[in-house]
Chain A
Amino acid sequence: MSVVTLNVNGQDVAVPAGASLLEATRAAEANVPTLCHLEGLTPVSACRLCLVEVEGSGKLLPACSTAAAEGMVVHTHTPRLKEYRRMTVELIFAEGNHVCAVCVANTHCELQDMAVTVGMDHSRFPYQYPQRSVDASHPQFTLDHNRCILCTRCVRVCDEIEGAHVWDIGSRGGQCHIVAGLDEPWGQVQACTSCGKCVDVCPTGALFRNSDTTAEKHPNTTLPALLRTAREQRRWHNQ
């Protein structure tokens, strides 16, 4: 197995060739924050939280979708990166309707944790209070658009892991929203297998089980990586 060595925040690390910059920063325990990225799903570099500085590159590079290369010198927590991350999280909070106190995901929410991680105690941008709807047409699950941050994990897990492609994105810009089927009520989409993977990977309380109430959602975000490994390498837990 060939290996590339690079330097992350002054520490030399070696990762297998083909590994992403994100894996390299994790090898260096650099704690680069991510929201849209999830092990086992195709990276989309949409949340821009994992942007890092690579010496010699004029641009900031998303760690999740950039390949680690020999000799790279990477900085993950420069003052400007920290400021941009905080602004990004503020923009996400200001864009939707995130009310932790009444949210199913309270205390188990990746967005909430991210606010703590980047040191965001309030948003400097005015809240937009958009008019968004709730789709409670599915017998087991509910989609609350107010809490959606458009990370597209549900879109990818349904397409890439479950193979049903129930979810996709409708409209554009600030009007973007997750759509089920051909923009139908979720409960009417026959392609949905009710597997619940989308609910498990959702970083916020946008997708939840109907049985969960405030602070009761306990997501399981390790599933896609386990399933992908199992299928690609034919390795199962019970074998």
Chain B
Amino acid sequence: MPAPPQLRCCDASGCRSAGGQALRAALEGARDAAGLAADALTIKPVGCLRLCGSGPLVACDGPGPTQLFGGVAPEHAGALIAAGLPTSQAPGNGDPLAAHRLDLEAPFFALQQSVVLEGCGQVNPESIDDALSLGAYGQLRRVLEDLTPEQVRDEVRRSGLRGRGGAGYPTGLKWDTVALQPPGPRYVVCNADEGDPGAFMDRSVLESDPHRLIEGMAIAAYAVGAERGFVYVRAEYPLAIERLRLALQQARSRHLLGNHIHGTSFNLRLEVRVGAGAYVCGEETALLLSIQGQRGMPQPRPPFPAQSGLWGAPTLINNVETFTAVPAILRQGGDWYASIGTEHSKGTKVFALSGAVVNTGLVEVPMGTPLRTVVEVIGGGVPDGSPIKAVQTGGPSGGCIPAERLDTPVDYESLLELGSIMGSGGMVVMGSGTSMPEVARHFMGFSVNESCGKCVPCRAGTVQLAQLLDRFVERRATPADMERLDALCQMVKVTSLCGLGQSAPNPVLSTLRWFRHEYEAACREPAACLATGTVKR
């Protein structure tokens, strides 16, 4: 029996803010008005359908191939219902949806490879039955019944998966380190404190497919011997928190969490902890302190959390995307995952594409895809057709990659070489009108506000850096300021305590490296800057 036709309506934050909920209500109304029963045409809320900039999005699994519609208003509800019915005719000239039809064969969709986002846009994030019918928790069951923790870790090690939070530490190695600590309690923690401006990958996963994250965490907990875990989500993600809490509750009621999962001796308690708005709590040692109810301040490492984390116990801490990749790795095998990507960066990476780009949204591509493919082919380039000036990756800890380096493959090492970082996956495209000293000042202002204030270089150094950058933006800098900027950036980078401080100068250093002429113009020839429009005043 063929599956009944269904309309999948994006119900994640992006499409909600574009009116997705009103559209879904209108669709239900139109279905009733057409005299159809609910099971003749399913209208299902799902997670992210990728092209967030064209929301609200509706995917139609009717007769024939799946169709995707974007930017649809409630008045199109009737036409959408008709498109989903088997009796519908091929759209003629008077197709009211013609302007809203999105081409699923376009590079934005065709070049993507969904591993982490497999269930995003397919599964109803608020229904565990739907998740189970699409295979959720299947790998957890298999792992518990057939595999030893060593075998699970071996599979993850062979996959070559590296931490998706930004630093790219080998995940298998981290799991081994935690598992091989002396006997005693252990914890597993998911870092969902996604704070980089322009990054919304983790939010989309939490809002779209929370059960996959829970399954990944449960497998990780089994692999390292943890019986308790936390998901640390920032408070700015209310919908993600709501869906995650609901998913945890559903999983508990189905005995997929709790004691004796699947009748084995494996127990796991998972809880949500909500952050209170500090960017620095995304730093792992600060995050762990915050979970313990203390002020979120980074601690010197070693000891690493894998040795001494929550309440002094060995703690496995991974990013949302890392955990979410785990079920697919176990299902398809570590070797399959390792066959995707480059020599040192395996698998796929999710990017949140935004800024001066035609197609804004969520992109999952194999590691090693050239940056140009991501921003120009998938992203569609700058809306007015002008050339791209730079691509910012890694948020306030990353840097700007100039247009002439866009053929660089996206992997951890290549981005680092260019003075940027992979980061968690925010990718902001900048057009020719962007002034680089202003970009640097913007990010430095962010670091000033988000410094925890513990160590001197970050607390006082970023303030001085921001003031120095003001001088460039306001065209009152001197060549001596340039030297000061260079020297202070190096000092803050090398002497700060945690990753936030150490990477705070990156936006300045990378723009100094690739766009030094803009800084020079700002201090030597202010008139020339006005002419090129690089410095506004």
Q: Which residues of B contact A65 (CB under 8 A)?
A: 300
Task: Tell me if B513 is interfacial: C-beta within 8 Å of chain A.
Answer: no
Interface size class of B (residues with CB under 8 A): 20 to 34
Q: Is the CB of B453 within 8 A of A88?
A: no
Provide the bound-state CA to CA distance between A94 and B484, in Å.
15
How many A-B contacts if CB must be within 8 Å? 87
Provide the bound-state CA to CA distance between A65 and B496, in Å.
14
Given the interface contacts A91-B461, A92-B460, A125-B464, does A176 sit within 8 Å of B453 by beta carbon? yes
**Segment from B78-86, B104-112, B444-452 that makes contact with A:** B444-452
**Smallest Cβ-Cβ distance to B494: which chain A residue:** A60
Q: Is the CB of B495 within 8 A of A51?
A: yes
Task: Tell me if A11 is interfacial: C-beta within 8 Å of chain B.
Answer: no
Per the 8 Å Cβ criterion, residues 184-200 of A in contact with B are: none
Provide the bound-state CA to CA distance between A126 and B470, in Å.
13
Q: Given B280, B452, B484, B495, which contacts A84 in the complex, CB threshold below 8 Å? A: B495
Q: Is the CB of B300 within 8 A of A173?
A: no
Q: Is the CB of B456 within 8 A of A48?
A: yes
Report how many residues on chain A are interfacial, defined by Cβ distance under 8 Å: 33
**Smallest Cβ-Cβ distance to B480: which chain A residue:** A124
Q: Which residues of B contact A150 (CB under 8 A)?
A: 453-454, 459
Task: Tell me if B497 is interfacial: C-beta within 8 Å of chain A.
Answer: yes
Provide the bound-state CA to CA distance between A124 and B480, in Å.
11
| Interface residues of chain B: helix, strand, loop or mixed (majority) | helix
Provide the bound-state CA to CA distance between A95 and B464, in Å.
9
Provide the bound-state CA to CA distance between A192 and B84, in Å.
71
**Smallest Cβ-Cβ distance to A65: which chain B residue:** B300
**Smallest Cβ-Cβ distance to B454: which chain A residue:** A46
Q: Which residues of B contact A203 (CB under 8 A)?
A: none
Residue of B295, B460, B461 with most partner-chain A CB within 10 A? B460
**Smallest Cβ-Cβ distance to B297: which chain A residue:** A169
Per the 8 Å Cβ criterion, residues 129-159 of A in contact with B are: 150
Residue of A45, A62, A150, A173 with most partner-chain B CB within 10 A? A173
Q: Is the CB of A176 within 8 A of B464?
A: no
Provide the bound-state CA to CA distance between A83 and B462, in Å.
18
Contact with B along A33-68 (1 / 0, CB 8 A): 000000000011111100100000001101001100
Q: Is the CB of B463 within 8 A of A48?
A: no
Given the interface contacts A51-B495, A87-B491, A168-B295, does A46 sit within 8 Å of B456 by beta carbon? yes
**Smallest Cβ-Cβ distance to B495: which chain A residue:** A48
Q: Which residues of A contact B452 (CB under 8 A)?
A: 172-173, 176
Task: Tell me if B374 is interfacial: C-beta within 8 Å of chain A.
Answer: no
Q: Given A84, A128, A175, which contacts B491 in the complex, CB threshold below 8 Å? A: A84
Q: Is the CB of B449 within 8 A of A88?
A: no
Q: Which residues of A contact B10 (CB under 8 A)?
A: none
Q: Which residues of A contact B295 (CB under 8 A)?
A: 168-169
Task: Tell me if A211 is interfacial: C-beta within 8 Å of chain B.
Answer: no
Shortest distance from the beta carbon of A120 to any chain B beta carbon, whole Å: 13
Q: Is the CB of A91 within 8 A of B460?
A: yes
Q: List 16 contacting pairs A-B, 8 Å CB cutoff, sorted by A.
A: A44-B300, A45-B455, A48-B455, A48-B495, A60-B495, A65-B300, A87-B488, A87-B491, A91-B460, A91-B464, A95-B459, A128-B463, A150-B453, A169-B453, A173-B463, A175-B453
Beyond contacts A48-B457, A173-B449: 18 other A-B pairs, Cβ-Cβ < 8 A, are A44-B454, A48-B456, A48-B496, A62-B300, A66-B300, A87-B487, A88-B456, A91-B456, A91-B464, A94-B464, A124-B484, A126-B467, A128-B463, A172-B278, A172-B450, A173-B459, A174-B453, A176-B452
- A-B complex: 7 closest residue pairs judged by Cβ atoms: A176-B453, A91-B460, A173-B451, A95-B460, A65-B300, A45-B300, A48-B495
